[in-house]
Structure 1
Amino acid sequence: MDDKEKHADEIVFTHEQAEAAGLRTETVKPAEFRFVIKTGGQILAAQGDERTIAATASGIVTFAKTTTTEGSAVKAGETVVGISAKTLQDGDPAVKAKAAYEAAKKELRRADKLVSDKIISEKEFEQIRLAYETARAAYQGTAGSVTAKGVSVSSPITGYIKSLLVNNGEYVNVGQAIAVVSQNKRLTLRADVPEKDFKDLHSIKSANFKPAYENTAYSLDRLNGRLISYGRTATANSAFIPVTFEFDNIGSFVAGSYADIYLLSDRRDNIISVPLSAITEEQGLKYVYLQAGHDIFRKREVTTGMSDGKRIEITKGLKTGDKVVTTGTYQVKMAASSTSIPQHSHNH
């Protein structure tokens, strides 16, 4: 092999050019790697899973237990909060409701007699009866639940408190949401995986996901998540294969919302990988640039495997100790297409 042939694949990229390009290299060494399939999907809850507890009166909220927090277990019918208006300027609505009911009851008894004696008209009697019915309904709404702490508000279902929407000692209006109770401590994450990735599904062990309504990415590993199943075929009306996980329902996850999902493979050891920025593509083939000497670089064809979104596995073409260009790749590529090796670089 003559000298010219020996250096035919060399690219000269001077120190000055490297500085200008912000050139960075990385020395190849095998390490642990898990690849990622990026896809979309949905956060799902079981039907009839959640109930909102609303204030049945206006007043100051006192939690029934000092230990009440998000995640606390509750039973159906168990008091979650008391609402008292005793210290408020307008007085306690529960006490007022009782007084109004007693007064309306008395008034109705009197009207009953008056209408039979034709002292008041049927129309007037009807208005008094309606006022009584209204007062009775208002009183009955609170009567069974009045305690020393005020009106007690209980959970309609057995489950756990998913979110507390008010603080202890806060003022609430009637109808205001106080807490959300969920029957299920778990939610489902369904990822819709394109058919082309089916062959890699057996390696999937976990996932990270980012709900559409926020910028935070969550790790299933940190939410006590686990893989439940993955489909063996695409669903009838789509070209996607469902992969289903379940995880602890803590935080502000909105059931039914969409999410970006990053499916993670199990960890593999001794994998050679490079940053995605190191790879260039020409006519369907993939290449990296290696630093072979001080100002000398070489182009190397590589075969790539899976990616984790930041790095990509190299299955063929690189070995431990190779110095791969990771930043400035494009500039080296441009130099390669314009370089004819100057003679002085061979005068060893």
Structure 2
Amino acid sequence: MMKKIVFYTLVFLTVSLTALFAYKRFINHKSGMKLSSSQGSEESDSVSLDKEQSELFHIAVKRVEKSRFRRTISLIGEVAAVPDRIIEVPARVPGRITTVKFVEGSQVSKGQLLAILDSPDLAKLRSAYNSARTRYSAASQNTERVRNLVSMKLAAKQEEIDSEANLKVIAAELKASEENLRANGLEPSDETSGKYHIYSPISGIVLNRNALPGALVPATQNLATVGNISELWFMAKIFEADLGKVSEGDKADIILNSYPDLVFDGNLEHIGEQVDLASRTVHARLVFRNKGRKAKIGLFGTAKVVTETGMGILVPESSIFKKNDEDMVFVRTDIRMFSARRVRVAGSEDGNVEILEGLDAGDEVVTQGVFELKSLLLKSSFGEEG
């Protein structure tokens, strides 16, 4: 009987001690959970990577410093020729084309022969001029002769008056025939043929050819269009709200849709005086140099007009992510510890974003692996909510 009492007493003590030990472990575990939860709340915007994650994510960081930035306004438009640098070359006289010495795309110089016409009308003009010149010479000599006779009282004064009047009529006819020749681009000469040589009025590129050997052409037909396209216009539109941000003389980068990697240096030359009522925009004219003749008349593109320059902190666009509709970046705080930091941005330019608030020079900002860090950040946030 005594042995049974001792046995039950030992069993009771063992069960009691086991229960007490289990209770203490439960209490300690609950306390630890509360502490861990509190620490997690304090570091809810931080992500810590283990070695394996660090190698897997290929995280890249950049130490940010203040650098020069610029703000721009984008204007949509198209390329246009400078009107004073484009000249059409007409036939001027009707005739038949006998020779053509140019093709579309040819580089021509001022005064270079383009074509030759055979024009009966031109032959008539030249003949009329030479006839008028001969008659003027004869009338001039006759007037001089009559004046001498009148001075010697061998002729009446009326003969001198009639002679001078006839000379004036013939002089007017000669003047008219000279002007007819000059109106067709010719200087008066002894030439009597109908051959008409057409020369380029400027140096440039032949933009268009409308001349075929043997073709009969009227005086109004344009045989060629010659243009100097070393400098072009970019015709754009400025929205009403942006008028106060730009001024004539502002520099601009012009990027055409056909050449997204080529930048043309431009200048905002003129801002229009009238608002288009339909689009609420104002016409703008930019002038730029045509690098390598790449720009073509009529091409569409964008002009980025520089409105402001200065010094500031820039980060790649890939570094910015959204959380709760706020712009944020990850900043490395330790070897494998990253903190999500709220920032205020001004705008982007050339793939970089200007940071107004939230970063200091020397901060190490994540440029690669942002998506992976954001995923871990959101995962930990959801875990805490659960």
SS at structure 2 position matched to 1:315: strand
2:326 matched residue in structure 1: 285
Q: Deviations over 1:136-160 (max 9, x none)?
A: xxxxxx9524xxxxxx5412xx433
| Matched residue SS, 2:276 | coil
Change (3 A) 1:285 1:165: same
TM-score normalized by structure 1? Answer: 0.59
Aligned-pair CA distance for 1:273: 0.8
Q: 1:51 aligns with which of 88, 110, 116?
A: 88
- CA separation of 1:201/1:24 partners in 2, compared to 1, >3 Å: closer, same or farther? farther
Question: Using the alignment, how far apart are the partners of 1:287 and 1:203 within structure 2?
Answer: 37
Matched to 1:174, the amino acid is P
SS in 2 for 1:245: strand
Higher RCO (CA < 8 A, seq sep 6+): 1
Q: How far apart in 2 are the matches of 1:318 and 1:287?
A: 10
TM-score by length of 2: 0.54
1:144 is aligned to 2:180? no
Number of aligned residues: 260
CA offset at residue 35 of structure 1?
2.9
**Structure 1 236/321 Cα, relative in aligned 2: closer, same or farther at 3 Å?**
same
Match of 1:215 in 2: 259
Q: Take 1:329 and 1:320, find their aligned partners in 2: how far apart are those partners?
A: 20
Asked whether the 8 Å contact 2:99–2:115 carries over to 1, the reply is: no
User: Could you tell me which of 213, 217, 225 is aligned with 1:174?
Assistant: 213
Q: 1:13 to 1:162 in 2, by over 3 A?
A: farther
- Greater helix share, structure number: 2
Which residue pairs with 2:43 in the alignment?
7
Larger Rg: 2
Please point out which of 342, 347, 351 is paired with 1:306: 347
**Identity across the alignment (%):** 20
Question: Which consecutive residues of structure 1, in runs of 5 or more, have no partner in the other structure?
Answer: 64-68, 84-92, 98-141, 146-151, 167-171, 343-348
Structure 2 Cα separation of the partners of residues 232 and 282 of structure 1:
45
1:187 and 2:226 aligned: no
> CA 1:175 to 1:236, structure 2 compared with 1: closer, same or farther past 3 Å?
farther
Pairing partner for 1:274 from 315, 318, 323: 315
Structure 2 runs not aligned, ≥5 long: 1-37, 120-192, 216-221
- How far off is 1:4 after superposition? 5.7
Give the corresponding residue for 2:53: 17
For 1:117-266, what aligned pairs fall within 5 Å after superposition? 144-145=195-196, 153-155=198-200, 158-163=201-206, 174=213, 180-182=225-227, 186-195=231-240, 197-198=242-243, 200-201=245-246, 205-212=250-257, 214-215=258-259, 217-221=261-265, 225-230=266-271, 234-248=275-289, 251-255=293-297, 257-265=298-306
SS in 2 for 1:272: strand
SS in structure 1 opposite 2:253?
strand
Structure-2 separation of matches of 1:198 and 1:6? 47
Other-structure match for 1:79 = 112
CA RMSD of aligned residues (A): 4.3
**Shift in Å, 1:272:** 0.7
Alpha-carbon shift at residue 208 of structure 1 (Å): 2.6
SS in structure 2 at match of 1:159:
coil
Aligned partners of 2:284 and 2:76: how far apart in 1? Answer: 11
Instruction: Report the CA distance between 1:324 and its aligned residue.
Output: 0.7
* Separation (CA, whole Å) in 1 of partners of 2:48 and 2:39: 16
Q: Which among 53, 63, 84 is matched to residue 27 of structure 1?
A: 63
Distance 1:332 1:52, change over 3 A: farther
CA distance in 2, matches of 1:175, 1:201: 55
Question: Is 1:297 the counterpart of 2:338 in the alignment?
Answer: yes
